[in-house]
Amino acid sequence: MFVKTNGNTYFKLIFFLFLFLFSLSLSLSLSLFFFFFIFYKFQPIDLIRKYFGEKIGLYFAWLGLYTEFLIPSSVVGIFVFLYGCITIESDIPSKEMCDQRNAFTMCPLCDKFCDYWNLSSACATARASHLFDNPATVFFSIFMALWATMFLEQWKRLQMRLSYFWDLTGLEEEEDEKDKLTWNDRIPGYAANCGLILFMIMLTFSAVFGVIVYRITTAAALSFSTNETTRSNVRVTVTATAVIINLVVILILDEIYGAVAKWLTEIEVPKTEKAFEERLILKAFLLKFVNSYAPIFYVAFFKGRFVGRPGHYVYVFDGYRMEECAPGGCLMELCIQLSIIMLGKQLIQNNLFEIGVPYLKKLFRKLKDGRTEPKEMNTNQSKDPQQWDLDYSLEPFTGLTPEYMEMIIQFGFVTLFVASFPLAPLFALLNNIIEVRLDAKKFVTELRRPDTVRAKDIGIWYNILSGIGKLSVIINAFVIAVTSDFIPRLMYQYAYSQNGTMHGFINHTLSYFNVSHLKAGTQPENSPFAQDVLFCRFKDYREPPWSPNQYEFSKQYWAVLSARLAFVILFQNLVMFLSVLVDWMIPDIPKDISEQIKKEKSVLVDFFLKEEHEKLKLIESFITRDKHKQKSGTKDQKRRAASFCQFDRSRKGSIASFSSQHTEV
Please indicate, yes or no, whether residues 558 and 609 belong to a single structural domain of this protein. Answer: no
Of 38-47, 204-213, 480-489, which gets the smallest average pLDDT?
Answer: 38-47
pLDDT (0 to 100) of residue 20: 42
Which of residues 656 and 238 earns the better pLDDT score?
A: 238
Name which of 134, 139, 130 is nearest 76 in CA terms: 139
Model confidence at 665, pLDDT cuts 50, 70, 90, reads very low
Model confidence at 372, pLDDT cuts 50, 70, 90, reads low
Q: What is the mean pLDDT of residues 150-158?
A: 93
Cα separation of 208 and 275, whole Å? 33
pLDDT (0 to 100) of residue 437: 83
Q: How far apart are the first and last CA of the chain?
A: 106
Which range, 63-72, 128-137, 515-524, 527-536, has the best average confidence (pLDDT)? 63-72
- Pairing mode, strands 105-106 and 117-118: antiparallel
What is the DSSP code string of 569-628? Answer: HHHHHHHHHHHHHHHHHS-SS-HHHHHHHHHHHHHHHHHHHHHHHHHHHHHHHHHHHHHH
What is the distance of C-alpha 484 from the center of its chain?
25
Summary mean pLDDT of the chain: 80
Please indicate, yes or no, whether residues 405 and 545 belong to a single structural domain of this protein. Answer: yes
Which of residues 35 and 631 earns the better pLDDT score?
A: 631
Model confidence at 15, pLDDT cuts 50, 70, 90, reads very low
Q: Establish if 412 belongs to a structural domain.
A: yes
Residue 374 has pLDDT above 70, yes or no: no
Q: Establish if 43 belongs to a structural domain.
A: no
Q: Establish if 665 belongs to a structural domain.
A: no
Model confidence at 322, pLDDT cuts 50, 70, 90, reads confident
Q: What is the mean pLDDT of residues 385-405?
A: 79
Coil, strand or helix at 395: strand
pLDDT (0 to 100) of residue 329: 76
pLDDT (0 to 100) of residue 637: 59
pLDDT (0 to 100) of residue 7: 44
pLDDT (0 to 100) of residue 67: 93
Q: Establish if 21 belongs to a structural domain.
A: no
CB–CB of 220/364 below 8 Å? no
pLDDT (0 to 100) of residue 641: 52
pLDDT (0 to 100) of residue 151: 94
Please indicate, yes or no, whether residues 420 and 277 belong to a single structural domain of this protein. Answer: yes
pLDDT (0 to 100) of residue 12: 45
Looking at residue 182, the DSSP 8-state letter turns out to be: -
Q: Establish if 635 belongs to a structural domain.
A: yes
Please indicate, yes or no, whether residues 244 and 364 belong to a single structural domain of this protein. Answer: yes
pLDDT (0 to 100) of residue 633: 61
Please indicate, yes or no, whether residues 296 and 154 belong to a single structural domain of this protein. Answer: yes
Cα separation of 347 and 359, whole Å? 17
Domain extent at residue 548: 59-371+384-589
Residue 464 has pLDDT above 50, yes or no: yes
Phi-psi domain of 662 (left: phi exceeds 0; alpha: psi -120 through 50; beta: other) = alpha
Q: Which of 553, 574, 589 is the last residue of a domain?
A: 589
Model confidence at 409, pLDDT cuts 50, 70, 90, reads very high
Model confidence at 384, pLDDT cuts 50, 70, 90, reads low
Which range, 111-125, 230-244, 382-396, 469-483, has the best average confidence (pLDDT)? 469-483
Percentage of residues in the chain having pLDDT higher than 70: 81
Cα separation of 281 and 288, whole Å? 10
Q: Establish if 4 belongs to a structural domain.
A: no
Please indicate, yes or no, whether residues 484 and 414 belong to a single structural domain of this protein. Answer: yes
pLDDT (0 to 100) of residue 183: 59
pLDDT (0 to 100) of residue 47: 86
Residue 376 has pLDDT above 60, yes or no: no
Cα separation of 282 and 393, whole Å? 32
CB–CB of 70/418 below 8 Å? no
Please indicate, yes or no, whether residues 458 and 598 belong to a single structural domain of this protein. Answer: no
pLDDT (0 to 100) of residue 42: 73
Please indicate, yes or no, whether residues 573 and 598 belong to a single structural domain of this protein. Answer: no
Residue 18 has pLDDT above 50, yes or no: no
Q: Establish if 261 belongs to a structural domain.
A: yes
Residue 23 has pLDDT above 90, yes or no: no
Please indicate, yes or no, whether residues 424 and 556 belong to a single structural domain of this protein. Answer: yes
Q: Establish if 376 belongs to a structural domain.
A: no
Residue 587 has pLDDT above 50, yes or no: yes
Q: What is the mean pLDDT of residues 321-331?
A: 79
Cα–Cα distance list, 182 to 149, 175, 376, 495 (Å): 42, 20, 55, 66
pLDDT (0 to 100) of residue 655: 38
Please indicate, yes or no, whether residues 478 and 573 belong to a single structural domain of this protein. Answer: yes
pLDDT (0 to 100) of residue 5: 41
Which range, 211-225, 233-247, 540-554, has the best average confidence (pLDDT)? 540-554
Residue 270 has pLDDT above 50, yes or no: yes
Cα separation of 220 and 320, whole Å? 7
Which of residues 189 and 465 earns the better pLDDT score?
A: 465
**With b meaning 16 or more CB within 10 Å and e meaning fewer, what string describes 348-383?**
ebbbebbbeebeeebeeeeeeeeeeeeeeeeeeeee
Residue 78 has pLDDT above 90, yes or no: yes
CB–CB of 366/393 below 8 Å? yes
Residue-wise pLDDT tens digits, 332-344:
888 888 888 888 8
pLDDT (0 to 100) of residue 179: 59
* H/E segment holding residue 508: helix 505-509
Please indicate, yes or no, whether residues 561 and 638 belong to a single structural domain of this protein. Answer: no
Residue-wise pLDDT tens digits, 344-355:
888 887 777 777
pLDDT (0 to 100) of residue 41: 67
Coil, strand or helix at 542: strand
* H/E segment holding residue 501: none
Residue 438 has pLDDT above 50, yes or no: yes
Q: What is the mean pLDDT of residues 605-629?
A: 81
Which stretches of 373-446 are DSSP H helices?
387-392, 401-415, 424-441
Q: What is the mean pLDDT of residues 574-598?
A: 88
Count: domains in the chain? 2
Which of residues 510 and 13 earns the better pLDDT score?
A: 510
Q: What is the mean pLDDT of residues 377-381?
A: 48
Q: What is the mean pLDDT of residues 175-193?
A: 66
CB–CB of 157/590 below 8 Å? yes
Please indicate, yes or no, whether residues 532 and 610 belong to a single structural domain of this protein. Answer: no
pLDDT (0 to 100) of residue 73: 94
pLDDT (0 to 100) of residue 660: 39
Name which of 234, 237, 214 is nearest 224 in CA terms: 234
Cα separation of 525 and 511, whole Å? 23
- Pairing mode, strands 117-118 and 510-514: unpaired
Looking at residue 119, the DSSP 8-state letter turns out to be: G
Residue 13 has pLDDT above 50, yes or no: no
Model confidence at 143, pLDDT cuts 50, 70, 90, reads very high
Cα–Cα distance list, 196 to 130, 188, 261, 538, 563 (Å): 43, 12, 10, 44, 41
